Every structure is written in structure tokens, then in C-alpha cells.
Amino acid sequence: MRKIRETLRLHFDSRLGQRPIARCLNISRTTVGDYLHRAKMAGLGWPLPEDLSDQQLYNLLFPPAAPVLTSDRPLPDCSYLHTELKRKGVTLMLLWEEYQSEHPQGYRYSHFCELYRQWARKLKISMRQIHKAGEKLFVDYAGHTLPIVDPHTGEITEAQIFVAVLGASSYTFAEATLSQNLPDWLGSHRRAFEFLGGVPELVIPDNLKSAVSKPCRYEPDLNPSYQDLAEHYGTAVIPARVRKPKDKAKAEVGVQIVERWILARLRKQTFFSLADANATIRVLLTDLNSRPFKKLPGSRKEVFETLDRPVLKPLPAEAYTFSQWKKVRAGIDYHVEIDGHYYSVPYQLRGRQLEARITATSVECFVQRKRVASHVRSFQPGRHTTVHDHMPKGQQEYADWTPQRLIRWAAKTGPRTATMAEAILASRQHAQQAFRSAMGLISLAKAYTPERLEAACDLALEGQATSYKSVKSILKTGLDQQPRQQTLPMAAPIVHDNIRGGHYYH
């Protein structure tokens, strides 16, 4: 306002032209002309009235435009526009054309868009984003936990709260789990999809370890089990960028709402099981989704039924079964080790690295995503599960490694080592199943000495402990270096009239 007053003074009092005034005040000539034109239209001269404030001067020079509110130019329904923009393919141009078809004398496109943007600025920041129906499901864990008390011991376990929020409708799912580990993380996803009755196109998680093996701004590495779940349900996982909470703003707001409207109401209740806690959470969740919005018409449930549910992908025929992926290597006996048990793969793959998919009931092995072996899972440690077709068809096809060669190799250490290797190979239904143990036995000569290995094998054979672990334990504890206990000769029984023999007790 100071430059406006100075413009009027220099023009009326000093009789300067527009160009000198512009140079003096460091403003453009057109601005000077605009100020003078507005002063003329307002009937102002110089000096200005002493009681004229800056705000009053501004209102005289820049009067607000009178709004045009006629029946021919009705205001657009901005809440309707906001809802429709969440549908796939719907744009402001399309909505404006529909508005024009009903009101030919209505607002032009630019002003129509400006009216909507002014209305949208009044919403919360997290609600300005336009999420397409059925497109994104935001998932995260709440910062608060829910205590679960063991009724027998009184021990308290802090249950984690999983939260999933649909982008378009803000329809919310929440449940308590014992941890944020991979089985609980994937199980919560499965139950969230079942709660929604369908599958969204995208899932947006945070960068926790159960979701992302290696965070990266451009190409994060997903946990293989998480990727397996996404493929099973036909969805895609796009993790939020590290330290970019706006990427998952819906989840942040959903977590906050769950903490305030559910967890806060449960702060005085005591739960003795996870099932009881989730049953109570489900009741409060129904109430939360049914609550009307404050600034938009309807509720989460109503918008979900209208927008999201019709476009969600259908659930697969079978629910996802939790599986873990592990990199394994086939040994010379063409078996891979998983939790102490050994499973066969085609013998041509010995020495190769494979990927194993492990479930509660099965073990599958893959090479470049192609399955090469499948077994029923066994929990017997040290045992072998071998498919006959995985074995070599003849010794000529497997001449590099044979039981005889391993025995000869063990004999270089000593005869007792060779005897132990032969006993280990004979302890399995198929000799190839014991190749690992025999190789391990022979390698002990490098970690210790051939003399100690020979002594340890002799001690193990004497005690009939014919296994690799027995020999290793003897070497580790140094029993082979301790003097042997001498066996005392049996003394002749004492004969006396007062001594009763064994026949007395029959």
C-alpha cells in the first residue's frame, strides 16, 4: 500500500509521468497505469483523506467481484466431483462436459476447475490425493500395541496392530497379531483380502523386513514369500519410498484413526487371548466404518460398497498357504538340506544352487523359477527323502563318486577311518544318502590330524557309535587323546557256606 500512496502523490502532487514514477518506485509502467486508472474509477485524488486506512484504500481500488448466482449458472456439486474423480477414467474435463450438458450457461472449464480446487483445499491434506476405486490398499502397523495377558502365568505379550486402508473409500481393516514376523504379516494380508471380499490392484506397504528384503528408492527387493503371496492373489506390491510418509498417507491416517477410535476405547479392558481381542476389535471396526464422514457425504462402508467393491478382483479359489523361500545347494549326493532333513533333486543338479519353497506340508525345489522336485515335508532330522527317478540310472553315469571310492579315500587316513566310512555308508537305504556324512568324516583329518581321526574312529567303533557326529564329538572333546580305561579281568566267585548263590532267589 505504501507504493500505491506514493504513486498517487507523485502523479497528483509532483506531476510526474508514468515512466518516471515507475523508475522511482522500481515497479513497471503498466502497474503505475493500473493504479492510476483504479484511483480515477474510485474518484480518488490527492491528498487522500486522513482517516482512510490501508484496508479501506485497498477495498476502493480493488473491490471484490460480485458473484454471479443465477439459475442459469449454478455452482457445481464439489463433493460429487470429488467422489466421481475416484472412478477409473473419470477426469475434470469429463465432469465439466456433463455439467455443461445440464447447464449450458454454466461456468467455463477453467473457472469450473478453480471452484473445485478451492473446495478441495478445505479438506485435509491426506484427502486431497485422488485414489482410483479398487486401485490401492495401504498397509502398516500401528505404533501402539495391545497387551495380551496369559491367564496361567500372568505374562503380558504386546500384540501388534495391523492396519489396511483402501485408498478410494478409506474402508479400514485392523487386527491384532503376536508379532510383525513374516507368517503374521502374510496372514494379516490374507485376512484383509477376505474382509474386503476381493483383491486391489496394488498393495502399498512400508519398508519393514517382512515386506522388503533390501530397500531401494527405485528397485526395492521384495521378500520372496511376500512376492509369492502377491502372485497368488494377482496383485502387485509397490513399497513406499524410504522416509516418504506421504507415499502412504492413507495408512498413516488409518493408523491414527484406529489408535484413537479402537485402541483408545480398549485401554481399560484386559484380554486373555488374541481371539478375544480380535473379536472386540471387529465390533469396533464395524462401528468405525459405519460412522459418517465429517466433510463428505456418506460413510466408509457406503463409499466402499459404491466404489471399491464392484471393481475389486475376485478372491482365488484357494486361500494362500504360507511359504518360505530359501537358497540351497545340492551336494554330491544330489540332496538339499532343509531344517536338518535331506531331500533329493535330479542328480544332474549336484553342486548347483537352487531355490526351495517350504510350506508346512511340502518342499519344492526350483531352478530359474522352474520346479524340478517336490516332496512331502518331513521333520525327522538327519534322514533322507529320495525320489527314485532322481537317482542315476547306472554306476557308469555316476562314476565320479561311488561308495568304493569314498572308502578308498578314507583308507588313506587309516584302516579304522575306512571301517567307519563303510559303516556310515551301510547305515542308509541308499549309499548316496550317506555321501555327505562320509565326506564330512574324511574332512575331519584336515581340521585335526590323520592320527587323531584314526584314534577317534577306533574309539567310536569300539562304542558302536558309527556316525559322523560321534567322531566329531570325540575329536572336539579330546576323548581320543585320553588314556583308555583298562578292562579288569573277572575274579573267580568266592565259595563259602554262609554265602548264598543266585539259585537262592529263584
Q: What pLDDT was estimated at residue 316?
A: 93
Q: Do 115 and 162 belong to one domain?
A: no
- Cell of residue 101, nine digits: 450438458
Q: Do 279 and 343 belong to one domain?
A: no
The answer to whether residue 442 is domain-embedded is yes
Residue 478, sorted as left (phi over 0), alpha (psi -120 to 50) or beta, turns out to be: left
Percent residues over pLDDT 70 in the chain: 86
C-beta separation of 336 from 365 below 8 A: yes
Please say which residue of 395, 420, 454 terminates a domain: 395
The answer to whether residue 498 is domain-embedded is no
C-beta separation of 220 from 240 below 8 A: no
The residue to which cell 579288569 is assigned: 488
- DSSP β-ladder status, 335-338 and 384-385: unpaired
The answer to whether residue 505 is domain-embedded is no
> pLDDT band at residue 397, thresholds of 50, 70 and 90?
very low
The answer to whether residue 353 is domain-embedded is yes
- What's the whole-number average pLDDT of the chain? 83
Q: Do 106 and 210 belong to one domain?
A: no
Instruction: Work out the average pLDDT over 286-311.
Output: 88
Distance CA 107, CA 92 (A): 13
Residue 313: strand pairing partners: 199
Is pLDDT at 115 greater than 50 in this prediction?
yes
Q: What pLDDT was estimated at residue 94?
A: 85
Is pLDDT at 75 greater than 50 in this prediction?
yes
Instruction: Work out the average pLDDT over 383-390.
Output: 87
The answer to whether residue 500 is domain-embedded is no
- DSSP β-ladder status, 353-358 and 362-367: antiparallel
- Phi then psi for residue 356, to 5 deg, are -110, 130
Q: What pLDDT was estimated at residue 314?
A: 93
Q: Do 213 and 265 belong to one domain?
A: yes
- DSSP β-ladder status, 136-141 and 156-166: antiparallel
Distance CA 97, CA 85 (A): 14
Q: What pLDDT was estimated at residue 246?
A: 58
Amino acid at 159: A
Instruction: State the CATH number of the domain containing residue 244.
Output: 3.30.420.10
Q: Do 44 and 113 belong to one domain?
A: no
Q: How many residues does the chain have?
A: 506
Q: Name all contacts of 367-375 with Cβ < 8 Å and 24+ positions apart.
A: 372/345, 372/346, 373/343, 373/344, 373/345, 373/346, 375/343, 375/344
Q: What is the SS3 assignment for 288-312? A: HHHCECCCCCCEHHHHHHHHHHHHC
Distance CA 55, CA 74 (A): 31
Q: What is the DSSP string of 119-187?
A: HHTTS-HHHHS---TTTEEEEEE-SS-EEEE-TTT--EEEEEEEEEEETTT--EEEEEES-SSHHHHHH
**CA distances for 436 relative to 384, 441, 465, angstroms:** 11, 9, 17
Q: Do 446 and 460 belong to one domain?
A: yes
Helix, strand, coil in percent for the chain, rounding step 5: 45, 15, 40
Is pLDDT at 129 greater than 60 in this prediction?
no
Q: What is the pLDDT of residues 199-238, one digit of tens each?
A: 999 888 887 777 776 555 544 667 888 888 888 999 988 8
Regarding predicted confidence, which is higher, 490 or 411? 411
The answer to whether residue 67 is domain-embedded is no
Distance CA 146, CA 285 (A): 15
Q: What pLDDT was estimated at residue 156?
A: 92
Q: Do 48 and 159 belong to one domain?
A: no
Q: Do 156 and 296 belong to one domain?
A: yes
Q: Do 166 and 304 belong to one domain?
A: yes
Distance CA 158, CA 148 (A): 6
Q: What pLDDT was estimated at residue 441?
A: 87
Q: Do 162 and 294 belong to one domain?
A: yes
> pLDDT band at residue 133, thresholds of 50, 70 and 90?
confident
Q: Do 384 and 299 belong to one domain?
A: no
Is pLDDT at 77 greater than 50 in this prediction?
yes
Is pLDDT at 193 greater than 70 in this prediction?
yes
The residue to which cell 484427502 is assigned: 127
Q: What pLDDT was estimated at residue 79?
A: 84
The answer to whether residue 318 is domain-embedded is no
Is pLDDT at 165 greater than 50 in this prediction?
yes
Total domain count, the chain: 5
Domain coverage including residue 239: 136-311
Instruction: Work out the average pLDDT over 66-95.
Output: 76
Instruction: Work out the average pLDDT over 66-75.
Output: 62
Q: Do 437 and 364 belong to one domain?
A: no
Is pLDDT at 395 greater than 50 in this prediction?
no
C-beta separation of 329 from 353 below 8 A: yes
Q: What is the pLDDT of residues 236-293, one digit of tens each?
A: 888 876 555 555 667 788 888 888 888 888 888 999 999 999 999 999 999 999 988 8
The answer to whether residue 413 is domain-embedded is yes
Least confident range of 89-98, 360-369, 424-433: 424-433
Q: What is the pLDDT of residues 430-475, one digit of tens each?
A: 666 678 788 888 889 888 999 999 999 999 898 888 888 999 999 9
Regarding predicted confidence, which is higher, 490 or 479? 479
Residue 204: strand pairing partners: 138
